[in-house]
């Protein structure tokens, strides 16, 4: 493996130590070493937390920051945090106003968050949840509850974090974050697989000359494997999947988020975005704000995800609010 590693069993701890040292002006470790929290959480607000497996940087800990998440629970590589880590993240974030736990739809996370919610109740902390399910490729439209959460989670955190920072109560924060994810659809295309450090070889295969449409962040199979095509055709394929699902239509104002999966040069994300923007313009869809970069990755996987969120006045205001974390800085 051509990687920067010590003992793969220690990678999450060492990464966390490095992360906390590098960003000590902004974040600190929780009492639980698998929790990262904002320094000086503003008083009196609803807590906002998230959590998930490691290897998706900036997700999840990179979205702990000002007007974003107050704390995050950290799992092993591509593996859910424990229920106790989610509970401890809630404890760090709670100020008696309750905690919104905004996370992605994976069986391990669902199980651990559910347990954490019960445990929190016993210690007097109200935790309500929003489960991101923006990945169109992972289940039919009439089974949205089965869909995975992918890069749309970033917009969910942005919106939920901003609502809490505005002074929204728990139900308002939950409603805003739920609206954000309900208004959001994503799809990914994978070009090369990734290797879990402790395994040492790719845990799935993408043959050279092919691409996997609808791939998940852990290599979960998508809609189909097809011969690799030009960036313009990829853009058309991605918009053809995402746009009809919501559906996004002429006159809609949207946020567009194009994220690399880790190893794709950022230059290529702009090539892809260039064509996505053309397609949206042709359809009369108005891009209100765009994010292009590595916002939600999968170790050294190559490829990209496209996420589109339809805006209303409330979402616009929340998306526009300044934010500051390792993964998302916005004036």
Q: How far apart are CA 47 and CA 171, in angstroms?
A: 12
Which residues, including other chains, have CB under 8 Å from residue 280's CB and lie 6 or more apart? 239, 254, 256, 286, 287
95 token code pair: 């100020």
CB of 241 to a copy of itself, least distance (A): 16
Q: How far apart are CA 314 and CA 294, in angstroms?
A: 26
For the chain, helix, strand, coil in percent to 5 are: 35, 25, 35
Q: Which stretch binds a copy of itself (CB under 8 A): 90-98, 103-111, 206-214, 246-254?
A: 206-214
Q: In the set 32, 67, 138, 192, which binds a copy of itself (CB under 8 A)? A: 192
Q: Which stretch binds a copy of itself (CB under 8 A): 111-119, 244-252, 293-301, 305-313?
A: 293-301
Residues forming the active site = 56, 218
Residues 11-50 that bind a copy of itself (CB under 8 A): 11, 14-19, 21-23
Instruction: CB nearer to a copy of itself: give 168 or 262.
Output: 262
Q: Which stretch binds a copy of itself (CB under 8 A): 87-95, 129-137, 213-221, 269-277?
A: 269-277
CB of 2 to a copy of itself, least distance (A): 4
Under a CB-based contact definition with an 8 Å cutoff, are residues 45 and 166 in contact?
Answer: no
Beta bridge partners of 135: 186
Q: Does 200 bind a copy of itself (CB under 8 A)?
A: no
Instruction: CB nearer to a copy of itself: give 98 or 219.
Output: 219
Give the position of tokens 């923006």: 134
Per-residue DSSP letter, 64 = B
CB of 117 to a copy of itself, least distance (A): 28
307 token code pair: 């996420």
Q: Which stretch binds a copy of itself (CB under 8 A): 37-45, 176-184, 239-247, 294-302?
A: 294-302
Q: In the set 87, 89, 130, 234, which binds a copy of itself (CB under 8 A)? A: 234
Q: In the set 49, 64, 241, 299, which binds a copy of itself (CB under 8 A)? A: 299
Number of residues forming the site for a copy of itself (CB under 8 A)? 61
CA angle 53, 129, 222 (to 5 degrees): 50
Q: In the set 32, 67, 82, 302, which binds a copy of itself (CB under 8 A)? A: 302
Instruction: CB nearer to a copy of itself: give 302 or 307.
Output: 302
Which residues, including other chains, have CB under 8 Å from residue 80's CB and lie 6 or more apart? 51, 52, 53, 106, 108, 109, 111, 112
Q: How far apart are CA 149 and CA 102, in angstroms?
A: 10
Q: In the set 72, 272, 311, 318, which binds a copy of itself (CB under 8 A)? A: 272
Peptide bond preceding 316 in cis form (omega within 30 of 0)? no
Q: Does 320 bind a copy of itself (CB under 8 A)?
A: no
Q: How far apart are CA 34 and CA 72, in angstroms?
A: 8
Q: Which stretch binds a copy of itself (CB under 8 A): 87-95, 97-105, 225-233, 311-319?
A: 225-233
Q: In the set 246, 291, 295, 296, which binds a copy of itself (CB under 8 A)? A: 291
Q: How far apart are CA 187 and CA 258, in angstroms?
A: 10
Beta bridge partners of 253: 286
Under a CB-based contact definition with an 8 Å cutoff, are residues 246 and 185 in contact?
Answer: yes
Q: Does 297 bind a copy of itself (CB under 8 A)?
A: yes
Sequential DSSP letters for 100-139? EEEEE--HHHHHHHHHHHHHHHHTT--EEEEEE--BGGGS
Instruction: CB nearer to a copy of itself: give 114 or 281.
Output: 281
- The residues binding a copy of itself (CB under 8 A) are 2-6, 11, 14-19, 21-23, 54-55, 57-58, 191-192, 206, 208, 211, 228, 230-232, 234, 262-275, 277, 287, 290-294, 297, 299-300, 302-304, 324, 326, 329-331
């Amino acid at each position: 493996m051509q990687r920067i590693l010590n003992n793969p069993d220690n990678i999450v701890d060492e990464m966390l130590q490095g992360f906390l040292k590098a960003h000590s002006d902004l974040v600190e470790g929780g009492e639980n070493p698998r929790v990262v929290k904002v320094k000086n959480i503003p008083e009196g607000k609803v807590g906002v937390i998230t959590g998930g497996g490691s290897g998706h940087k900036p997700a999840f800990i990179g979205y702990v920051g000002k007007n974003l998440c107050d704390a995050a629970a950290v799992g092993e590589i591509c593996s859910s945090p424990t229920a106790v880590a989610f509970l401890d993240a809630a404890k760090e974030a709670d100020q008696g106003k309750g905690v919104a736990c905004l996370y992605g739809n994976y069986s391990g996370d669902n199980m651990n968050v559910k347990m954490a919610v019960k445990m929190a109740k016993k210690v007097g902390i109200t935790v309500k949840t929003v489960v991101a399910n923006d990945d169109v490729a992972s289940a039919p439209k009439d089974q949205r509850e089965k869909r995975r959460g992918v890069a749309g989670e970033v917009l969910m955190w942005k919106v939920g974090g901003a609502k809490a920072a505005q002074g929204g109560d728990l139900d308002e924060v939950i409603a805003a974050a739920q609206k954000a994810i309900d208004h959001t659809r994503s799809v990914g295309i994978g070009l090369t697989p990734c290797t879990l450090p402790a395994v040492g070889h790719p845990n799935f295969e993408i043959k050279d000359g092919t691409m996997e449409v609808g791939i998940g962040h852990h290599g979960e199979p998508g809609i189909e494997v097809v011969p690799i095509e030009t960036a313009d055709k990829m853009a058309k394929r991605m918009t053809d999947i995402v746009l009809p699902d919501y559906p996004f239509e002429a006159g809609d104002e949207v946020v567009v988020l194009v994220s690399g999966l880790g190893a794709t040069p950022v230059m290529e994300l702009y090539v892809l975005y260039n064509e996505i923007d053309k397609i949206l313009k042709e359809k009369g869809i108005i891009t209100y704000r765009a994010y292009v970069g590595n916002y939600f990755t999968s170790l050294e996987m190559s490829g990209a995800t496209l996420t589109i969120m339809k805006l209303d006045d409330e979402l616009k205001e929340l998306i526009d609010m300044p934010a500051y974390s390792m993964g998302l800085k916005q004036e």
